[in-house]
């Protein structure tokens, strides 16, 4: 605390990301990273981009990347001017909150959700109302059909992993013609279905994506949004009042190549889904209740043992998972889906702890 | 304009960066890029970082980079916790405006300066007062010894290139114990003297730097700030409420190596300074008045010809320079210092245009 701080800084409660420990040989299942490396084509494109041209600024509009993203939506009619790109989806979301979710009325998001949302609200002084998930930790569409300043939720939701079927998403979007509805699809490629195909029909729908999970590029920092050109223009106005060049030359080159490698994408996301299904069965056999997940993580609680204790015991055995302290979910662990070997190491450690 | 836009978006006037044309063979002297490539050690470090680990998030605190930056200030007593890093100095500045310059009173900056400052003010709704440079386009320290909510200026100033000597900077810092004074040193390595050594003595001084110019990494996007740990903490709070991972793994690795390569840094900055001195002489011989520059650009006006016309005629000859439309400087051109060959191409084109 210092007299030099602005008032808003004093009132902030910053987000705390999952730990990035520097120790080797950890089974790191705490930050939803992809256990498989990025596309070899992305690696090649990054190598090719390294050189003398790094002295030059990147394209401030990253047109190549917008074109690649638009093309990846195939026949669903997304034009490059309906694409916004940023330095990871967290930056994209930050701009979304300021540009499209700051209005008179409070915005709505689930009580159990990505814990960065209330942080953005404090940063930009946006009022919000947390809408409780139902008793099975599901989003109920009807809860969002009330006056609001905007709506945002991940689909599948985090950290629950539960997916809200598209007809329910559409009910929320169609039922709020005066508000922007933001669907944060960080995890959608692991079994969900994207709301991207609804963008052409709803001028109030914005879909946010990241290359960190299903494209395995968390270390490169690229996210994007698609929506009506008017929504994208609002984001561009904020971006161009904040940082002209959020994506460097390497980020643009790597992202373009990763998005173009459909084969690697399919192969690795299917492998993650298969490992998740095996992990869910193993956890159930150990006495865990596991919420149905379409993400690259599962959210599970044990009938007999405290989640915090389990997390600590796992840590002592070199296995990191994430434990949130929020009352309603404090008996749950969020476990990222690793390789089969990592999942088996986790299960073996759990077996030891629970025996 | 759309009913979905927040009020602040409607009122924005975004910054317009210098053009990044895709045409080959241009003599591009419009965005103050370094004509020499980045350090070979940085290139090597980038190559080594490309691989499977890009699937993992970077260190959210970029500790390695903070340590490298602190070490680069040598005996001047900068600790890693006095260093803040971001996705280019524009992002660093954005956080500075929100965290440290948003107070009751208007902030002060020169009337002729980096045109992003008023843009940040509109984004964060910060009142400001533009303080006129003197008739020789110099900052006068005494103009800043009045009540204010904060002070920010580049040193050397942009686009004038004029350097305010450190004793004058110190007068401003010492004379404003209740305000944060931000010195934006994007261009300081080309002949100025950094206020970094004053940081240990003044808790209200923040020095902002970039790797885009003197380290020739505009394409990588890395900037930083140094100051009292309390000021840095304010920036970390905003950063962690905005984006946990502003710097990717490649940006961190490349920046650490670039900062460590003192030899390349010295060699290239000296080459730029030498080319600038030759360019200044050539421009003077062609009838230009050139402001004394300690930057990697010069700011010059011709006695007989309109600056806008000259810029257009240069463009037709494949030479890009920057022309600002602000009344007081509309007869000036800002010309980045290129290689000697590029400077000679510019001079030859000017000779043709002016004959």
Identify the segments of chain A with pLDDT beneath 50. none
Sign of CA dihedral B232, B18, B301, B340: positive
Half-sphere exposure in the Cβ direction for A254 (13 Å, CA): 33
Q: In angstroms, what separates the C-alpha of B47 from chain A's closest C-alpha?
A: 6
Subunit contact A55:B43, Cβ cutoff 8 A: no
Subunit contact A38:B54, Cβ cutoff 8 A: yes
User: DSSP string of A243-298?
Assistant: -S--S-HHHHHHHHHHHH-HHHHHHHHHHHHHHHHHHHHHHHHTTEEE----SSEE
SS (H, E, C) chain B: CCCCCCHHHHCCCCCCCCCCCCCCCCEECCCCCCCCCCCHHHHHHHHHHCCHHHHCCCCCCCHHHHHHHHHHCHHHCCCHHHEEEECCHHHHHHHHHHHHCCCCCCEEEECCCCCCHHHHHHHHCCCEEEECCCCCCCCCHHHHCCCCCCEEEECCCCCCCCCCCHHHHHHHHHCCCCCCEEEECCCHHHCCCCHHHHCCCCCCEEEEEECCCCCCCCCCCCEEEEECHHHHHHHHHHHCCCCCCCCCHHHHHHHHHHHHCHHHHHHHHHHHHHHHHHHHHHHHHCCEEECCCCCCEEEEEECCCCHHHHHHHHHHCCEECECCCCHHHCCEEEEECCCHHHHHHHHHHHHHHHC
> Does residue B218 belong to the interface with chain A, where contact is any CB pair within 8 Å?
yes
In this complex, which of A47, A60, A237 lies closest to B17 when CB atoms are compared?
A: A60
Subunit contact B91:A52, Cβ cutoff 8 A: no
**Among all chains, which residue has been given the structure tokens 């370094």?**
B34
Subunit contact A103:B6, Cβ cutoff 8 A: yes
Residue in chain B closest to A119 (alpha carbons) equals: B241
| pLDDT value for A112 | 97
| pLDDT value for B211 | 98
Whether residue A31 contacts residue A18, with contact meaning beta carbons closer than 8 Å, is answered with: yes
Length of chain A: 355
Nearest-angstrom CA–CA distance, B28 and B336 = 8
In this complex, which of B4, B99, B241 lies closest to A6 when CB atoms are compared?
A: B99
> Does residue A184 belong to the interface with chain B, where contact is any CB pair within 8 Å?
no
How many Cβ pairs closer than 8 A exist between chain A and B?
279
Q: Could you read off the pLDDT of B96-149 as tens digits, one per residue?
A: 999 999 999 999 999 999 999 999 999 999 999 999 999 999 999 999 999 999
Whether residue B101 contacts residue B127, with contact meaning beta carbons closer than 8 Å, is answered with: no
CA–CA distances in Å: residue B328 to residues A241, A330, B31, B295: 23, 62, 21, 20
> Does residue B38 belong to the interface with chain A, where contact is any CB pair within 8 Å?
yes
CA–CA distances in Å: residue B116 to residues B91, B109, B180, B247: 11, 11, 18, 21
Whether residue B105 contacts residue B85, with contact meaning beta carbons closer than 8 Å, is answered with: no
CA–CA distances in Å: residue B312 to residues A212, B109, B115, B157, B326: 43, 30, 22, 25, 17
Nearest-angstrom CA–CA distance, A247 and B314 = 30
User: What's the gap between Cα A350 and its chain centre?
Assistant: 27
Nearest-angstrom CA–CA distance, A34 and A272 = 8
Residues of B in contact with A178 (CB under 8 A): 3
Q: In angstroms, what separates the C-alpha of B124 from chain A's closest C-alpha?
A: 9
Q: Is omega for the bond preceding B156 within 30 degrees of 0, making it cis?
A: yes
Nearest-angstrom CA–CA distance, B258 and B216 = 9
Residue in chain A closest to B178 (alpha carbons) equals: A4
Which of A34, A173, A219 best tests the B interface by mutation, with the highest count of B CBs <10 A? A219
Subunit contact A238:B123, Cβ cutoff 8 A: yes
| CB within 8 Å of chain B, chain A residues 71-100 | 87-88, 90-91, 94, 98-100
Nearest CA among A334, A305, A339 for reference residue A322 = A334
CATH class of A15-37+263-354: alpha beta
Element (H, E) at A210: strand A205-210
In CATH, what is the architecture of B40-260? 3-Layer(aba) Sandwich (3.40)
Rg of chain A in Å (alpha carbons): 20
Residue ranges, CATH 3.40.640.10, chain B: 40-260
> Does residue A229 belong to the interface with chain B, where contact is any CB pair within 8 Å?
no
Residues 6+ apart with CB under 8 A from B257: B39, B41, B42, B44, B45, B46
Residues of A in contact with B123 (CB under 8 A): 238, 241-242
Subunit contact B20:A240, Cβ cutoff 8 A: no
| pLDDT value for A76 | 64
Subunit contact A3:B178, Cβ cutoff 8 A: yes
Percent of chain B with pLDDT over 70: 99
* pLDDT of B75 over the 70 cut: no
- Report the mean per-residue pLDDT for chain B: 96
Residues of A in contact with B4 (CB under 8 A): 100, 179-180, 203-204, 230-231, 234
| pLDDT value for B343 | 97
DSSP one-letter code for A322: B
Which value, to the nearest 10 degrees, does the dihedral of the CA atoms of residues B168, B171, B172, B173 take? 120
Which tokens is B298 given?
């010069």
Q: In angstroms, what separates the C-alpha of B303 from chain A's closest C-alpha?
A: 32
* pLDDT of B3 over the 70 cut: yes
| pLDDT value for B106 | 98
Nearest CA among A263, A226, A246, A262 for reference residue A67 = A226
Please calculate the CA angle A244-B121-B247 and round it to the nearest 5 degrees: 40
SS (H, E, C) B263-275: HHHHHHHHHHHHH
Which tokens is B179 given?
């305000």
Nearest-angstrom CA–CA distance, B90 and B76 = 25
* pLDDT of B88 over the 90 cut: yes
Beta bridge partners of A110: A131
Which of B250, B253, B257, B339 best tests the A interface by mutation, with the highest count of A CBs <10 A? B250
**Among all chains, which residue has been given the structure tokens 């990494």?**
B217
Q: Is omega for the bond preceding A225 within 30 degrees of 0, making it cis?
A: no
Nearest-angstrom CA–CA distance, A223 and A191 = 19
Nearest-angstrom CA–CA distance, B72 and A120 = 34
Main-chain phi, psi angles of B85, to 5 degrees: -120, 150
Q: Could you read off the pLDDT of B207-251 as tens digits, one per residue?
A: 999 999 999 999 999 999 999 999 999 999 999 999 999 999 999
pTM: 0.97
Nearest CA among B94, B157, B258, B129 for reference residue A243 = B94
Residue ranges, CATH 3.90.1150.10, chain A: 15-37+263-354
* pLDDT of B1 over the 90 cut: no
**Among all chains, which residue has been given the structure tokens 């009540």?**
B147
Whether residue B151 contacts residue B122, with contact meaning beta carbons closer than 8 Å, is answered with: no
Which tokens is A1 given?
């605390």
Taking residue A146's Cβ as centre, other Cβ atoms within 10 Å add up to 12
Sign of CA dihedral B84, B86, B88, B93: negative
| pLDDT value for A294 | 98
Subunit contact B241:A58, Cβ cutoff 8 A: no
In this complex, which of B119, B220, B234 lies closest to A4 when CB atoms are compared?
A: B234
Nearest-angstrom CA–CA distance, B217 and B160 = 23
Residue in chain B closest to A33 (alpha carbons) equals: B56
Whether residue B4 contacts residue A230, with contact meaning beta carbons closer than 8 Å, is answered with: yes
> Does residue A199 belong to the interface with chain B, where contact is any CB pair within 8 Å?
no
Nearest-angstrom CA–CA distance, A225 and A221 = 14
Nearest CA among A291, A292, A302, A297 for reference residue A331 = A302
Task: Give me the mean pLDDT over the B31-37 stretch.
Answer: 95
Q: In angstroms, what separates the C-alpha of B135 from chain A's closest C-alpha?
A: 30
In the three-class reduction of DSSP (H, G, I as helix; E, B as strand; rest coil), residue A131 is classed as strand
| pLDDT value for B23 | 77
Q: Could you read off the pLDDT of B183-219 as tens digits, one per residue?
A: 999 999 999 999 999 999 999 999 999 999 999 999 9
Nearest-angstrom CA–CA distance, B190 and A349 = 58
Please calculate the CA angle A88-B224-B254 and round it to the nearest 5 degrees: 65
Nearest-angstrom CA–CA distance, A119 and A97 = 10
Subunit contact B8:A46, Cβ cutoff 8 A: no
Greater confidence (A14 vs B352) lies with B352
| pLDDT value for B76 | 64
In this complex, which of B9, B94, B251 lies closest to A237 when CB atoms are compared?
A: B9
Subunit contact A91:B4, Cβ cutoff 8 A: no
Nearest CA among A188, A225, A199 for reference residue A88 = A225
């Amino acid at each position: 605390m210092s007299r030099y701080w602005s008032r808003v800084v004093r009132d902030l409660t910053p987000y705390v990301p999952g730990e990035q420990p520097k120790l080797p040989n950890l089974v790191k299942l705490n930050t939803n990273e992809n256990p498989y490396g990025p596309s070899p084509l992305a690696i090649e494109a990054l190598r090719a981009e390294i050189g003398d041209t790094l002295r030059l600024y990147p394209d401030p509009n990253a047109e190549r990347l917008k074109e690649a993203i638009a093309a990846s939506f195939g026949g669903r009619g997304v034009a490059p001017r309906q694409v916004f790109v940023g330095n990871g989806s967290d930056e994209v979301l930050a701009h979304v909150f300021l540009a499209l979710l700051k209005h008179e009325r409070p915005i709505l998001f689930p009580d159990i959700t990505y814990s960065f949302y209330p942080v953005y609200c404090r940063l930009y002084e946006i009022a919000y109302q947390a809408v409780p998930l139902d008793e099975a930790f599901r989003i109920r569409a009807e809860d969002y059909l009330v006056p609001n300043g905007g709506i945002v939720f991940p689909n599948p939701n985090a950290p629950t992993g539960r997916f809200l079927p598209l007809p329910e998403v559409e009910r929320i979007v169609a039922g709020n013609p005066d508000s922007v509805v933001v669907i944060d699809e960080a995890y959608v490629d692991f079994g969900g279905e994207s709301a991207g195909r609804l963008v052409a029909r709803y001028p109030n729908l914005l879909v946010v994506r990241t290359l960190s999970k299903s494209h395995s590029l968390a270390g490169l920092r690229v996210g994007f949004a698609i929506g009506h050109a008017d929504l994208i223009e609002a984001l561009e106005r904020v971006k161009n009042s904040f940082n002209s060049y959020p994506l460097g030359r390497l980020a643009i080159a790597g992202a373009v190549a990763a998005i173009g490698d459909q084969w690697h994408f399919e192969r690795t996301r299917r492998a993650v889904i298969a490992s998740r299904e095996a992990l869910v069965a193993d956890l159930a056999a150990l006495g865990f209740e596991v919420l149905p997940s379409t993400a690259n993580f599962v959210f599970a609680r044990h009938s007999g043992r405290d989640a915090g204790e389990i997390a600590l015991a796992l840590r002592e055995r070199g296995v990191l998972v994430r434990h949130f302290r929020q009352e309603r979910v404090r008996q749950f662990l969020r476990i990222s889906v690793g390789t089969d070997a990592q999942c088996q190491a986790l299960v073996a450690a759990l077996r030891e702890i629970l025996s």
